Amino acid sequence: MDSKIKDLLSKMNLEKYQKHSDFHILKLEEHLEEIPLKLNFENIGCFEITFAQSQDTQIGIDQKNIDADKDHLLFLSPSQGLNVDSSKAKNIKNTFILYFTPDFLDFISTEYLIIKKFPFFNIHFSSVFYTKKEVSEMYIHYMERIYNEFQDLNENSEEIIKAFLKIILFETKRKLEKKLHIIPQKLSRKAEITYQFENLILQSKQKNQKVSFYAEKLNVSPIYLSECVKNTVGKNAKNIITEYILLEAKSLLKNSDESIQNISLTLGFKDTSNFINFYKKHKKITPNQERKSN
């Protein structure tokens, strides 16, 4: 069961509970005596969905603290860092943490496609949403069902878990699109621009490597956009564009029969050789080697 999930559970002293290499769910209040009070992950290595009712746990995502004193949903993508301090937590209840990899989902196959389909997952920007009572009850019900099925994991229960996970993903997406009883965290002006910037990169049909391209669409100057991104996530805007291009490139190489030339055009490269050199520089292998490895 070698996996990122195994590494996570090992740091939490919960490796003995692992039953699946690509999925895990835990109910926090049942492991308070086992889990260290303070945890730090440079990157979690898998997708995470947490639902928690109000508590005093301090949560930091990529070194940014979030307000966790009311019912909330938290979504993390594999490259994000996480630190948790529960030393002052009181009355923890109905706190579920769910981990999964792309391999667990039947209908979507790569990290990039999951992030593109469900924009509450981002490479850098931490997505935290506060839920009203009726929505909190809905998530508790879904998480309880998944948790109960996981206790006696078999072929049938695994399919039921996948079905409920799919419901959670699409239900959250629908409620956010229609603004139904899920309230996004309040963002500063710079954080809001950073959030829009990441989603603009993600939803662009053809990638562009220039910061000025996205700045123009957001009606801000390239200098101000770079300042917003650096202030919010600690990286420059150019690096984030590069990370998304690499993520989409890997997804296309793994899941499509498109030629390297067509993929390079989709990703904003006019010359295929430039794309090959770009990919090799950052990934240490060529696009063709990446495709063969899959």
- As a whole number of angstroms, the distance between CA 253 and CA 284 comes to 15
Q: Is the pLDDT of residue 3 over 90?
A: no
**pLDDT higher than threshold 90 for residue 91:** no
Domain locations along the chain: 4-184, 189-293
Is CATH 3.40.50.10140 what the domain over 189-293 is classified as, yes or no? no
Q: How far from the centroid of its chain's Cα atoms is residue 154's Cα? A: 27
C-beta of residue 68 within 8 angstroms of C-beta of residue 51? no
Cβ neighbours of residue 170 closer than 8 Å, sequence gap 6 or more: none
| pLDDT digit string, tens, across residues 43-60 | 888 999 999 886 666 666
Please tell me the distance from the alpha carbon of residue 13 to that of residue 34, in angstroms, as a whole number: 6
Give the span between the Cα atoms of 218 and 226, in whole angstroms.
Answer: 12
| Long-range residue pairs from 256-264, CB within 8 A, at least 24 positions apart, any chain | 260/287, 260/288, 263/287
Residue 70 has pLDDT above 50, yes or no: yes
Residue 2 confidence (pLDDT) above 70: no
Number of residues that make up the chain: 294
Q: How far apart are the first and last CA of the chain?
A: 20
CATH number belonging to domain 4-184: 2.60.120.280
pLDDT (mean) for 194-213: 89
Residues 30 and 50: their CA atoms lie apart, in Å, by 15
Nearest 5°: the CA angle 106, 109, 114 is: 100
Q: Which residues contact 205 (CB under 8 A, 6 or more apart)?
A: none
Select the more confidently predicted residue: 209 or 276.
Answer: 276
Return the closest-CA partner of residue 61 out of 224, 185, 239, 197.
185
Residue 150's Cβ-count burial label (10 Å; 0-12, 13-18, 19+) is: buried
pLDDT band of 182, cuts 50, 70, 90: confident
The whole-model pTM stands at 0.87
Per-residue pLDDT, 85: 79
Predicted local confidence at residue 67, as pLDDT? 62
Tell me, what amino acid is at 93? K
Question: What tens digit of pLDDT does each residue of 13-36 get?
Answer: 999 999 999 999 999 889 988 988
Higher pLDDT, 249 or 81: 249
- Lowest mean pLDDT of 34-43, 121-130, 175-184, name the range: 121-130
pLDDT for the residue numbered 62: 60
Query: Cα separation of 63 and 76, whole Å?
Result: 13
pLDDT at 37: 82
236 within 8 A of 229, measured Cβ to Cβ: yes
Which token pair is 250? 């890997």
Report the candidate in 111, 62, 102 with the shortest Cα–Cα distance to residue 244. 111
For residues 14 and 118, give the distance between their C-alpha atoms in angstroms, rounded to a whole number. 29
Pairing of strands 96-100, 23-27: antiparallel
